[in-house]
Amino acid sequence: MFLTSNVHRAPLHVSVSSLSQLNSQSVFSVKYTVKLLKKLADNGNFKLGKVVHALLIVSNHASEDHVIQNNCLINLYSRCGQLAIARHIFNRLQQRNIVSWSTLMTGYLHNGFTWEVPKLLKDMVSVDNLFPNEYVLSTVLSSCSNGGLLHEGRQCHALVLKSGLVFHQYVKNALLSLYTMSSDMEGVLEILKSVPGSSNITDNVVLKGFLDHGYTNEALDVFSRMLSEGSVGDKISYVNIFGLCARLKDLKLGQQVHCRMLKSGLQLDVFLSSAVMDMYGKCGEILGARYIFYSYPDHNVVSWTTILAANFQNECFEEALKMFLQMELQDVVPNEYTFAVLLHSCAGLSALGCGKTLHARVEKTGHGTFVVVGNALINMYVRSGHIEAARALFSNMICRDTVTWNLIISGFSHHGLGEDALFMFQDMLAAKEQPSYVTFIGVLLACGHLGRIEEGFYYLQHLMRDFGLEPGLEHYTCVVGLLGKAGKLDEAEKFMRSTPITWDVIAWRTLLNACNVHHNYGLGQKVADHLLQLNPNDVGTYILLSNMHAKVKRWDGVAKMRKLLRERNIKKEPGLSWTEIRNETHMFVSDDTQHPETAQIHEKVRKLLAEIKPLGYIPDTASVLHDVEQEQQEGYLSYHSEKLAVAYALMKTPSQAPIHVIKNLRICDDCHSALKLISKVTMRVIVVRDVNRFHSFQNGSCSCADYW
C-alpha cells in the first residue's frame, strides 16, 4: 500500500489538449515532459500526474535511463505525499545523479520522515560514490534539526567542515537551526564567530534562538548589528525584535521599534499585532496593548489570548475575564493557552466560582489534559484556599512538568503543610524531574514552617549547588524566616550581615516580624530604623513598629509612628476582607455599617464572641493602636473586617461547608485567636488568606502554628 497524504490542490492550468499534445509522437520531448511534470508537482496534482506517468509508460517514453525525467517523477510523487511510489522509481533507476538523491531526501524531509534522510546520505556516499553538495547538506541538516537528531547532525557538521561548504549561507543557516533546535547555544555562538557572512534569515534564526533560550545580551547584540546593517525589514524580524523588547521589559526600546515599523510602512497582520501587544503587555503598558488590539479589526485565538494575557500580566484580572465574554461573542474558539490565562486571572481574584465554571468547561472540551491548563487549575485552587482540590488535581495529572511540581510544593508550604511539601519534593526527585530556582523557595519555606534549620541549610548550601543552581535573594530571605521562626534572632541578623548580598525591604521586614512575634523589641527597633532608611515610605514597617510599641503599652511610640505617617503623607491601606457565597462576592471593612444585613452580622459576631469567651478568649487589646479605655478597645476589635466576613459566611452557608475569606492585610493577633476558637465552637474549617500566607483554622488550631 502506498503512503498517502492530503495535499492542497491549487488551480492547475493544464488542459486536456496539453495531454493529447503530449501523446502525440511528433511533438513528444523530454523537455516538454519535464516542464509539465514540474507544473503538476508545484500544484500538487497527484491524479493528473499519474495520468502523465501512465502516458509515458504506454508510449515507451518511460525509461530508467532518463535521469532528468525520473527526477521530475520522484519530485512529483514526493510533493504529493506518495513517498512509496517515489522510492520505487528511485530504486529502479539505472543511473542516479546528486539531484535524484537530493529530491528524494527533500521529499522525506517535507513529509516528516526526517530519520530517513541521514540514512540516504550515507547510501549516496557509499553506494553511488557521490559527494554531497551544499543543497544536499542543507537538506540533511534541516532533517536533523526537525527530527532532533543531534548526533547525526554533528556528523553532518563534520562533513560540512571537511568539504568547505560551510561558507554557503543556506548551509550556515541550517547549522544554526540545528544547534538552536537542540538548545546548544554555545554551538550557535561558535558558528557565528567562525563563519563570516549573514542574511536576514540568519539573523531571524539566531535572534529567535537566543530569545527562546534566555540569551538576552546576545540577542541584543544581534539586534544592534541588524540595525547597523539596515537588515530589519520583514515581519519575522519585527516579531522577534518585539519579543526581545518584551523579554527585556524595555518599554522605551519597544516604542522606538514600533515607531520604526510604522515609518517603514509595514502593515500589521494578526501575528505582528500580537507581538506588539505582547511587548506592551509585558512592559506594563496595558493601554498601549489595548490600543493595538482595538485598532486592528481581524483577530484569531492567538491575538485574543495575547490581549487576555496582557491584562492578566498587569493585574487587570476582571478585564481579562470580561474580554473573554467579548471573544465568545465573536465565535472565536479558545485554546489551552486561553483557558490557562483565564484560570490564572481567577486565581488573582480568588474567584473560586468563576474558576470552577472554567474547570467544568475545560473538562468538557478536553483541554484539561494539557499540562499548561492543569498547572493553571492547581494554581487557581491553591490561591483560592482549596489545597485538597489542588492535591487531587495533581494526583490525577498524567503529564507533569517542573512548574506542576513547583506549584504543589509551594502551595503546601503556603498552606502550612510543610511535611506534605517536603514529601512532594522527594517524590519530584524520585520522578527524575529537575528542580528549579523556584522549587527550592517552596522547599525552604516548608523547612521554615517545620523549624528544620539544619535541613534548610543543607538544601541551601549543598543540594542547590548539586543541581547547578545558585541561591538568590528569595532563598536567603527564606533562611532569615527559618531562623526567625525558631527564635534565633541574633543568628538571623548575623546571617544577614555576613551574607554578601543586597537585602531588600521584604528580607528586613521578615526579621522585624520575627522580632515582633518573639517580643525582641530592642533588635526590632534597630531593624526598623534600618528599614526606614532603606524605604521611608514603607507603610508595613510603620504598622509593625506600632504593633510592637502597642504591645508594651508604649503609646508615645505609637503616637510617634502615626505622626511620621502624617508628616510623610503615607496612607495606611484600609483593612478589607471578602468572601464569595454562591458566586457573589461580599466585601467588609472594619466596623462595617454599609452591608444591607449589618444588624444581623453584628449580632452574629456578638454571639460568637460570647460563645468563645468560656473557652479562654480574651480580647488582645494590644492590637488596638489607640490609647483609649479598655471597653472602647474591645469595641474596636469586635468588628474587624475578617470577623464580619466569617460571621456572614456562617450565616449564609451550610453547616458543614468550609469558609473561605481573603484579607488584604496581615490578620491581627486578636482575630487570629478568635477565629481559632470560632472554628472549634462552630465545628467549621475556616480558611483565611492574608497578605502573607494561608491560615486554616480547624478545631481550635491554625495551620500557621501561630507564626505569621
Give the span between the Cα atoms of 207 and 210, in whole angstroms. 5
Question: What DSSP letter does each residue of 307-374 carry, written as one string?
Answer: HHHHHHHTT-HHHHHHHHHHHHHTTPPP-HHHHHHHHHHHHHHT-HHHHHHHHHHHHHHTGGGSHHHH
What is the structure's pLDDT at 458? 96
Q: Which residue has the higher pLDDT, 482 or 625?
A: 482
Give the span between the Cα atoms of 99 and 93, in whole angstroms. 13
What is the structure's pLDDT at 32? 78
- Torsion on CA atoms 299, 300, 301, 306, rounded to nearest 10: -40
Give the span between the Cα atoms of 157 and 521, in whole angstroms. 68
Cβ within 8 Å of residue 476, ≥6 positions away: 460, 495, 499, 501, 503, 507
What stretches of 28-143 adopt beta strand conformation (E)?
none
Give the span between the Cα atoms of 59 and 25, in whole angstroms. 8
Say if CB 29 and CB 66 are below 8 A apart: no
What is the structure's pLDDT at 622? 61
Say if CB 44 and CB 79 are below 8 A apart: yes
Is residue 482 scored above 70 in pLDDT?
A: yes
Mean predicted lDDT score pLDDT of the chain: 88
Q: How far is CA 204 from CA 233, 286, 680, in A?
A: 11, 27, 63
Please state the rounded mean pLDDT for residues 406-434.
95
Q: Which three cell numbers stand for residue 232?
A: 530589519
Q: Which residue has the higher pLDDT, 659 or 63?
A: 659
What's the distance, CA 545 to chain centroid? Answer: 38
Nearest residue to 604 (alpha-carbon basis) of 678, 663, 670, 689: 678
Say if CB 586 and CB 595 are below 8 A apart: yes
Is residue 634 scored above 80 in pLDDT?
A: no
Give the span between the Cα atoms of 108 and 3, in whole angstroms. 12
Please state the rounded mean pLDDT for residues 472-494.
94
What does the pLDDT look like over 301-323, one tens digit per residue? 999 999 999 999 999 999 999 99
What does the pLDDT look like over 218-245, one tens digit per residue? 888 888 888 887 777 688 889 999 999 9
Give the span between the Cα atoms of 200 and 241, in whole angstroms. 13
Rounded to a whole number, what is the distance in angstroms from the first to the last CA of the chain?
Answer: 70
What does the pLDDT look like over 55-74, one tens digit per residue? 888 777 777 677 888 899 99
The DSSP 8-state label assigned to residue 687 in this structure reads E
Give the span between the Cα atoms of 537 and 380, in whole angstroms. 32
Is residue 676 scored above 70 in pLDDT?
A: yes
Top-ranked range on mean pLDDT: pick from 30-39, 118-127, 190-199, 400-409: 400-409
586 backbone φψ class: left, alpha, beta (φ>0; ψ -120 to 50): beta
Cβ within 8 Å of residue 236, ≥6 positions away: 204
What's the distance, CA 411 to chain centroid? Answer: 17
Q: Which three cell numbers stand for residue 60?
A: 515507451
| Amino acid code (one letter) for 646 | V
Is residue 120 scored above 50 in pLDDT?
A: yes
The DSSP 8-state label assigned to residue 166 in this structure reads G
Which residues are paired to 343 by β-bridges? Answer: none
Is residue 604 scored above 70 in pLDDT?
A: yes
Which residues are paired to 579 by β-bridges? Answer: 586
What does the pLDDT look like over 350-371, one tens digit per residue? 889 999 999 999 999 999 999 9
148 backbone φψ class: left, alpha, beta (φ>0; ψ -120 to 50): left
C-beta neighbour count of 28 within 10 angstroms? 15
pLDDT category of residue 631 using cuts at 50, 70 and 90: very low
pLDDT category of residue 666 using cuts at 50, 70 and 90: confident
pLDDT above 90: percentage of residues in the chain: 58
Give the span between the Cα atoms of 220 and 491, in whole angstroms. 43
Is residue 460 scored above 80 in pLDDT?
A: yes
- Which of 3-7, 40-44, 328-332, 390-394 is the least confident region? 3-7
Please state the rounded mean pLDDT for residues 494-507.
93
Which helix H or strand E contains 477, and what residues bound it?
helix 473-485
Please state the rounded mean pLDDT for residues 243-255.
94
CA angle 292–295–298, rounded 5-degree value: 100
What is the structure's pLDDT at 26? 37
Phi and psi torsions of 333, nearest 5°: -80, 120
Q: Which residue has the higher pLDDT, 170 or 388?
A: 388
Cα dihedral sign, 306-307-312-317: negative
pLDDT category of residue 104 using cuts at 50, 70 and 90: very high
Question: What DSSP letter does each residue of 235-269 carry, written as one string?
Answer: HHHHHHHHHHHHHHT-HHHHHHHHHHHHHHTPPP-
What is the structure's pLDDT at 629? 47
Residues 198-233 as b or e (16 or more Cβ within 10 Å = b): beebbbbbbbbbbbeeebeebbbebbeebeeeebbe
Give the span between the Cα atoms of 254 and 174, in whole angstroms. 29
pLDDT category of residue 346 using cuts at 50, 70 and 90: very high
The whole-model pTM stands at 0.82
What is the structure's pLDDT at 399? 93
| Amino acid code (one letter) for 662 | I
Give the span between the Cα atoms of 455 and 461, in whole angstroms. 10
Position of cell 490565562? 341
- Torsion on CA atoms 413, 418, 422, 425, rounded to nearest 10: -20
Cα dihedral sign, 558-562-567-571: positive
| Amino acid code (one letter) for 188 | V
Say if CB 577 and CB 584 are below 8 A apart: no
Give the span between the Cα atoms of 181 and 196, in whole angstroms. 21
What's the distance, CA 446 to chain centroid? Answer: 24
Give the span between the Cα atoms of 40 and 12, in whole angstroms. 8
Position of cell 486536456? 16
Give the span between the Cα atoms of 280 and 313, in whole angstroms. 10
Strand-by-strand arrangement of the 701-702 sheet: 584-589, 576-581, 659-663, 686-689, 694-698, 701-702
Please state the rounded mean pLDDT for residues 466-470.
94
What does the pLDDT look like over 150-173, one tens digit per residue? 899 999 999 999 888 888 888 998
What is the structure's pLDDT at 249? 94
Q: Which three cell numbers stand for residue 584?
A: 457573589
Say if CB 667 and CB 688 are below 8 A apart: yes
The DSSP 8-state label assigned to residue 102 in this structure reads H
Give the span between the Cα atoms of 113 and 115, in whole angstroms. 6
What does the pLDDT look like over 173-222, one tens digit per residue? 899 999 888 888 888 888 888 888 778 888 888 888 899 888 888 888 88
